Amino acid sequence: MVSTTTWNVSGMTCQGCAGKLQKVLGASFPDGTDITADHQSGRVTIVSMADIAEIDLKDAVERAGFDFGGRA
């Protein structure tokens, strides 16, 4: 079953930041996970067949240098 979740992430100020976050998250989660970061809205949308634990996402976001704000 495909799951789509949207999360708040602060600290993205440009498209380069969004790209960096997408790259870090893409390396952190299973193949087939689609990640879209939008610096203008401050949100990350994840479409995945696998369950992604909130704590794992929070850790990956913070490793990338951004602030995790929880579910949007």
Residue 66 has pLDDT above 90, yes or no: yes
Residue 23's nearest CA partner among 38, 37, 42 is: 37
Phi/psi at 33 (nearest 5 deg)? -90, 125
Domain boundaries, the chain: 3-71
Domain 3-71 has CATH 2.160.10.10: no
Residue 65's nearest CA partner among 31, 17, 15 is: 17
Provide the strand spans (E) within 1-72.
3-10, 34-38, 43-48, 67-71
Q: pLDDT grade, residue 68 (50/70/90)?
A: very high
pTM: 0.91
What are 29-61's pLDDT values in tens digits? 988 899 999 999 999 999 999 888 999 999 999
What are 9-32's pLDDT values in tens digits? 999 999 999 999 999 999 999 888
